[in-house]
A and B are shown apart, each in its own frame.
Chain A
Amino acid sequence: MTQTISQHAQIQELVSDLDQLVGVDGNFWEGRKAQSHDLSTPHQLRDFCRDILVDVFGLEVQGL
């Protein structure tokens, strides 16, 4: 019989187990950032700006 997921704590436990598997030390956001190449949301636009201005150009940009 399979386990029903009925509590938020179970979701957090599952995510913790997935972290153990992939080994990202809780930083799923970095992995997600690397995965997306489209620019379809404001969040992605902001990420793109940060990546190119801060990481590539080395600029200090307020708010990024």
Chain B
Amino acid sequence: MICLGCREKIKGNPPLKCSGCGHTHQARPPVVGINHVSQLLSALDSLAVEEIPLEDFEVIFDTFVEKMETLQRKWALDQSFLSPRLSGALQERFTKQFAELDEALQLGYQGVELVEAVLAGEIEHFDAAEECLVGFFRGVCAASASLLDQLDVLKQNDLGGQLYNLPSV
């Protein structure tokens, strides 16, 4: 994890002071702990009550968007959803989690668009942006945890050997 304000690597529980810029990261319920989404939501809260300058918020937001774009490019998320790309045996086991991931990612994109609308002066979108970003975080965590659990089960049972390590087509 990095501090979205200065890009310094940070780790720990809230309150967490960044050694790069000195900012103290606080928890931002309902998100657990400090992470990139909690940082963005905290900054959005601060922007709403004019506790941080617009320019400072834009730095934080741009860093987050940059991370979204990196993921989008690598996995071609602008071209198709993830779930239809699962092949063969993987479909049966992982379609549900990938459908959840697709849904969560759409919430992430909506959240980014709504924050952009807020920055364009449409301040009535604050609440909807927050809702989408929280939904994005929840959805990604839920689907990813489930995926990793399933992968662990496969590995432990070594339904693998053939299935785990080799392409499942």
Contacts and interface: CB of A to CB of B under 8 A. Distances in A.
Interface of A: 2-9, 11-12, 14-15, 17-25, 27-36
10 contacts: A5-B86, A6-B167, A14-B75, A18-B144, A24-B35, A28-B140, A28-B142, A30-B141, A31-B141, A32-B141
Contacts of A3: 75-76, 85
B123 interface: no
Interface of B: 1-2, 11, 30-37, 39, 67-68, 70-71, 74-76, 79-80, 82, 85-88, 90, 94, 98, 101, 137-142, 144-148, 151, 154, 160, 164-169
Contacts of A34: 30-32, 138, 141
B85 A4 contact: yes
A22 B32 contact: no
B85 A2 contact: yes
B80 A24 contact: no
Contacts of B137: 22, 31, 35
Given A5-B98, A8-B164, A17-B74, 17 more contacts: A2-B79, A5-B86, A6-B88, A11-B90, A12-B151, A17-B71, A18-B71, A20-B70, A22-B137, A22-B141, A24-B141, A25-B35, A31-B32, A31-B145, A32-B145, A32-B146, A34-B31
